[in-house]
């Protein structure tokens, strides 16, 4: 990360020091610092110059490019439903496929007791010459100035999440995967499909990371990360899918005219269904968002570019020799002050009830939330996670990047699920879960020590 002064370093020190975190004065100073930072970042966007596009570019009419602070080089191709936001610099001969979001807000928050403070990102994204970005990928902008950067002639696969302050070198091949914030990737690196890379790591030049690998430590130059075998030998997956009998219930407000508060901001390219939608006060709906029938949004909800609220789910019901698609009969309720980032999909209920997200919860990029999921208050769901239908997640839960949670699982309050975990059974309150399929962290490390 390119530092913007001494203050980020001070706050980082406070964050790491438990004794300092308990000091009320230090907590107050940190909270006020972030508030001032957010105000300054928002003000800085109003001073950006008008956007500039180079020669011989092909930009689909369905793409959205911010009016200020975007620079696009020559011979670029920007496909349909792409969103390019402020502080994005794109070089020559760059291709960005349909539905990708460049310069989205990073997923970074600070918790002060019961208050969760979002960090407004003041940096940008720099995509150098000859880069190819696949469909529905998300590239977050940097936090304290500087750039998230993708080097010359690198390629980024479909539905890849590149978090804030990541730097990717030249001639890299990044298949559909997840790269967490502040990670530096060297030149000529290969990242396989489904890989998850933790935050603040260094991946050396010409490293090779296998599909599905979970990387939590620095990788030296030229090193190969092979598919993990250690815990696949001893953990058997038990994934018992419960039944959700279809109900013929319909929403009480079905076919009622859509109601949108006058204080809410709806981007011109967003779609809001004409019936059965309610949008509360001071909501912000970004470019290319779809709000479908049966969706209820509370006060102060923010939905990032390309996200879908109230979509149909992939649930098949066996009928003799055929599988019949399940029709949604419920809706989605998003409570007050929920933040949903880019290209996230939230399914409608299939049981006449609601898929529900609790107050002050934050949902990152490329998250899939299945039908009838209930997420409690102040929970954080990080990028590229998938939550199966019927799952219940408690309050103050942290779900790490690239996590998969099976259908009809209960996750207790204040649980912590680490990067790339697979959850197939109930998680008790306050547990820290690790691995695939995820088990209690203490049992996991006890087994590893016994193995060695």
Query: Catalytic residue numbers?
Result: 164
140/101 Cα distance (integer angstroms): 8
Residue 339's SS3 state is strand
Cα–Cα–Cα angle for 84, 375, 112, rounded to 5 degrees: 75
Distances in Å between the Cα of 119 and the Cα atoms of 110, 141, 283, 348 are 7, 12, 18, 30
DSSP-based three-state secondary structure for 16: helix
Of the candidates 293, 432, 301, 398, the residue with the CA atom closest to the CA atom of residue 349 = 293
Q: What is the DSSP letter of 69?
A: S
Please state the separation of Cα 90 from the chain's center in Å: 22
d(CA 149, CA 143): 13
**Closest to 344 (Cα-Cα) out of 305, 316, 295, 373:** 305
The secondary structure of 99-153 as a DSSP string is T-EEEEPP--EEEETTEEEE-----EEEE-TT-EE-TT-EEEPPSSSSEEEE-TT
- How many other β-carbons are positioned within 10 Å of the β-carbon of residue 42? 11
**Token pair belonging to 176:** 């559909």
> Do 375 and 399 form a contact (C-beta atoms < 8 A)?
no
Q: Residues 90, 71: contact at Cβ < 8 Å? A: yes
| CA distances to 73, 178, 376 from 48, in Å | 18, 30, 38
Whole-angstrom Cα distance, residue 81 to residue 351? 32
Measured distance CA(167)–CA(149) in Å, rounded: 5
d(CA 383, CA 37): 24
CA distance 346 to 391: 13
Polymer length in residues for the chain: 452
CA geometry: angle 120, 122, 126, nearest 5 deg: 130
């Amino acid at each position: 990360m390119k530092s913007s002064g001494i203050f980020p370093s001070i706050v980082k020190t406070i964050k790491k020091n438990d004794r300092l975190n308990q000091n009320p004065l230090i907590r107050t100073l940190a909270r006020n610092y972030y508030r001032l930072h957010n105000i300054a970042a928002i003000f800085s966007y109003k001073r950006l110059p008008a956007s500039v596009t180079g020669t011989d570019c092909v930009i689909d009419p369905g793409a959205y490019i911010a009016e200020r602070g975007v620079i696009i080089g020559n011979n670029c191709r920007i496909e349909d439903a792409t969103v390019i936001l402020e502080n994005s610099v794109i070089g020559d001969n760059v291709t960005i496929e349909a539905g990708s979001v460049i310069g989205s807000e990073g997923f970074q928050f600070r918790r002060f007791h019961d208050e969760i403070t979002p960090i407004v990102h003041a940096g940008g994204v720099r995509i150098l010459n000859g880069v190819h970005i696949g469909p529905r990928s998300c590239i977050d902008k940097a936090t304290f100035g500087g750039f998230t950067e993708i080097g010359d002639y690198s390629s980024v696969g479909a539905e890849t999440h590149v978090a804030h302050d990541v730097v990717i070198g030249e001639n890299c091949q990044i298949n559909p995967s997840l790269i967490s914030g502040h990670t530096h990737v060297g030149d000529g690196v290969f990242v396989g499909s489904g890989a998850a890379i933790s935050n603040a790591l260094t991946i050396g030049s010409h490293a090779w990371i296998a599909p599905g690998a979970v990387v939590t430590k620095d990788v030296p130059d030229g090193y190969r990360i092979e598919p993990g075998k250690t815990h696949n030998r001893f953990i058997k997956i038990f994934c018992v899918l419960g039944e959700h009998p279809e109900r013929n219930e319909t929403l009480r407000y079905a076919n009622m005219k859509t109601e949108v508060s006058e204080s809410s901001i709806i981007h011109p390219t967003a779609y809001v269904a004409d019936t059965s939608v309610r949008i509360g006060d001071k909501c912000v709906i970004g470019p290319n968002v779809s709000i479908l029938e049966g969706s209820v949004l509370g006060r102060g909800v923010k939905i990032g570019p390309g996200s879908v609220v109230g979509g149909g789910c992939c649930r098949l019901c066996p009928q003799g020799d055929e599988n019949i698609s399940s029709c949604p009969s419920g809706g989605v309720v998003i409570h007050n002050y929920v933040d949903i980032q880019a290209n996230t999909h939230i399914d409608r209920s299939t049981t006449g009830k609601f898929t529900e997200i609790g107050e002050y919860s934050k949902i990152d990029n490329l998250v899939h939330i299945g039908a009838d999921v209930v997420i409690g208050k102040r929970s954080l769901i990080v990028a590229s996670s998938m939550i199966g239908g019927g799952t219940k997640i408690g309050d103050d839960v942290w779900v790490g990047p690239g996590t998969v949670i099976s259908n009809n699982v209960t996750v207790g309050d204040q649980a912590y699920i680490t990067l790339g975990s697979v959850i197939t059974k109930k998680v008790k309150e306050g547990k820290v879960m690790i691995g695939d399929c995820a088990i209690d962290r203490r049992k996991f490390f006890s087994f590893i020590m016994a193995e060695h």
